Amino acid sequence: MREFLVEITTTVPEGTSQDEVDRRRAAEAVRARELAATGRLARLWRPLGELRSIGIWRAADEDELHDKVLGTLPLRPWMTLTVTPLESHPNDPGRGEGAR
C-alpha cells in the first residue's frame, strides 16, 4: 500500500443540530478505529491550537484512498482535504529492510 499525508479541516454546516454533530463524531471515532485496525490509518495528529488533523493514511492508490478510505468517514461531507502522495526517502531513519 502507498502512504499519503492527508490534512483534514472539518467545518460543521451552519444550522446543524448538536445531536447530529455528536452522532457523526461518535461514528467517526468508531470508523477511525476500524481503519486503524486494517492498516489504512497509520497515524493522526492535531496541530496544537488548531482545528484540523494531519495523518498518514494508506491505500493502493489515490482513487482508493478517496473512495474506499476517506470516503467512508461519517464526517467526510463536512471535510476539506489536502492529499499528498508520499514515497520513502533514502535517508529516512525509520526505513526498514525491504522498504522502497
Q: What is the pLDDT of residue 95?
A: 74
| pLDDT of residue 96 exceeding 90 | no
What would the pLDDT profile of 2-55 be if each residue is shown by its tens digit? 999 999 999 999 999 999 999 999 999 999 999 999 999 999 999 998 889 999
SS (H, E, C) 10-72: ECCCCCCCHHHHHHHHHHHHHHHHHHHHCCCEEEEECCCCCCEEEEEEEECCHHHHHHHHHHH
DSSP state of 95: -
Predicted local distance difference test score (pLDDT) of residue 99: 46
How much is the pLDDT for 2?
A: 97
Distance CA 17, CA 20 (A): 5
pLDDT-based confidence at residue 97 (cuts at 50, 70, 90): low
What is the C-alpha to C-alpha distance for residues 10 and 41, in angstroms, rounded to an integer?
Answer: 17
pLDDT digits (tens, 9 = 90+) for 68-91: 999 999 999 999 999 999 999 999
